[in-house]
């Protein structure tokens, strides 16, 4: 996920940020003491030798100017076990109305909405702890797929063009985290909506291998994620 740093930097030690105030889905019938519902937004640190990860920097920009109230955000490690464990902890702790995971698909030219997570870790690249997993179930005996339950069609409409849908979130840490987040949501009532969004490498960030037909810049990625979060709420 990366090349040279630009002016935008993320202090990963301070990556967990909670925005102010209320419920993004107010219920007029709810008692005044009902705690605020929240959207949990996560992204990932750099990995595979890259110096930056656009998902983390998009998250930082969202936190700096939240498009919704009641937002909780955290950058996760690119480590199978740690990322999965942490997203489960966050969902259990905050009991959000929705979880939106952000990750990087560097070769894409569109913002990709993932329809489902697959019960498999199977990637040739190592995570940031050096763990290479091939053909490993995420949850022994678990379902083959866990679906996204976010309003994907509405999110796509909010963004407009250059959006794609996918039935495969890969078999690396993004998919692992998506699967475990969906499993954690199933244990709660009311059940949080969950889903994962893969972002392309920003067209205005120099990087070898970026396709010539890719035109989505960093600012547009930030605006697109903000628009999707408004629909989620």
pTM of the model as a whole: 0.85
Residue 203 DSSP one-character state:
T
Nearby residues of 70 by Cβ (< 8 Å), 6 or more positions away? 19, 21, 22, 23, 24, 36, 37, 38, 39, 233
The yes-or-no answer on residue 139 being catalytic is no
pLDDT, tens digit, for every residue of 146-164? 999 999 999 999 998 889 9
Q: Which residue among the candidates 24, 57, 74, 174 is catalytic per the annotation?
A: 174
Residue 136 CB burial class (10 angstroms; 0-12, 13-18, ≥19): middle
What's CA 222's distance to the chain center, in Å? 13
Burial 99-116 (b: 16+ CB within 10 A, else e): bbbbbbbbebbbbbbbbb
Question: Per CATH, which fold does 36-206+213-232 belong to?
Answer: Aminopeptidase (3.40.630)
Q: Which residue among the candidates 114, 139, 186, 189 is catalytic per the annotation?
A: 114
The yes-or-no answer on residue 114 being catalytic is yes
The yes-or-no answer on residue 176 being catalytic is no
pLDDT, tens digit, for every residue of 90-148? 999 999 999 999 999 988 889 999 999 999 999 999 999 999 999 999 999 999 999 99
d(CA 103, CA 197): 6
pLDDT-based confidence at 16, cuts 50/70/90?
very low
Sorted by where each begins, the domain ranges of the chain are: 36-206+213-232
3-class DSSP state of 95: coil
Q: Which residue among the candidates 24, 105, 198, 233 is catalytic per the annotation?
A: 198
């Amino acid at each position: 996920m990366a090349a040279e740093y630009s002016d935008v930097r993320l202090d990963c030690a301070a990556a967990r940020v909670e925005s102010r105030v209320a419920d993004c889905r107010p219920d007029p019938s709810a008692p005044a003491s009902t705690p605020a519902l929240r959207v949990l937004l996560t992204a990932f640190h750099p990995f595979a030798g890259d110096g930056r990860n656009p998902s983390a920097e998009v998250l930082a920009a969202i936190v700096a100017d939240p498009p919704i109230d009641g937002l909780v955000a955290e950058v996760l490690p690119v480590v199978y076990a740690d990322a999965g464990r942490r997203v489960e902890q966050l969902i259990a702790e905050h009991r959000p109305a929705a979880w939106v995971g952000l990750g990087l698909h560097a070769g894409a030219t569109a913002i990709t909405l993932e329809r489902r997570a697959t019960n498999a870790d199977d990637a040739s690249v190592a995570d940031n702890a050096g763990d290479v997993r091939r053909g490993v179930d995420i949850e022994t005996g678990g379902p083959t797929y866990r679906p996204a339950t976010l309003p994907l069609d509405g999110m796509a409409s909010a963004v407009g063009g250059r959006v794609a849908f996918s039935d495969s979130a890969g078999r690396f840490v993004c998919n692992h985290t998506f699967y475990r987040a969906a499993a954690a949501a199933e244990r709660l009532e009311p059940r949080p909506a969950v889903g994962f969004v893969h972002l392309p490498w920003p067209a205005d960030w120099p990087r070898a291998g970026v396709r010539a037909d890719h035109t989505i810049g960093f600012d547009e990625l930030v605006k697109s994620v903000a628009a999707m979060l408004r629909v989620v709420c």
